[in-house]
């Protein structure tokens, strides 16, 4: 049984959190590519990114579209 990113969003969010914790900007960019985040998700990820000091991680999250943005 194959699962896509949308079908496995909890696992994808866990992978995003791990990439942020590891300050792996390349992995984070790949995981968030083509995604639209819920405002609460985006705020949470930004808060996680602030624990580390990698500005590139924060910029990737900031550049990820948010639901409701036009």
For tokens 């790949």, name the residue: 30
Write the pLDDT tens digit of every residue in 32-58: 999 999 999 999 999 999 988 789 999
Q: pLDDT tens digits for 15-35? A: 999 999 999 999 999 999 999
Q: Which long-range contacts (CB under 8 A, 24 or more apart) does 64-67 make?
A: 64/32, 64/35, 64/36, 64/37, 65/35, 65/36, 65/37, 66/36, 66/37, 66/38, 66/39, 66/42, 67/36, 67/37, 67/38, 67/39
Q: Where are the domains of the chain?
A: 9-63
Listed in sequence order, the residues at least 6 apart from 38 whose beta carbon sits closer than 8 Å to its beta carbon are: 66, 67
């Amino acid at each position: 049984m194959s699962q896509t990113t949308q079908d496995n969003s909890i696992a994808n969010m866990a992978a995003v959190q791990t990439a942020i914790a590891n300050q792996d900007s390349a992995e984070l960019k790949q995981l968030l590519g083509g995604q639209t985040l819920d405002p609460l998700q985006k705020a949470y990820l930004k808060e996680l990114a602030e624990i580390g000091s990698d500005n590139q991680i924060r910029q990737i999250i900031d550049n990820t579209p948010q639901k409701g943005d036009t």
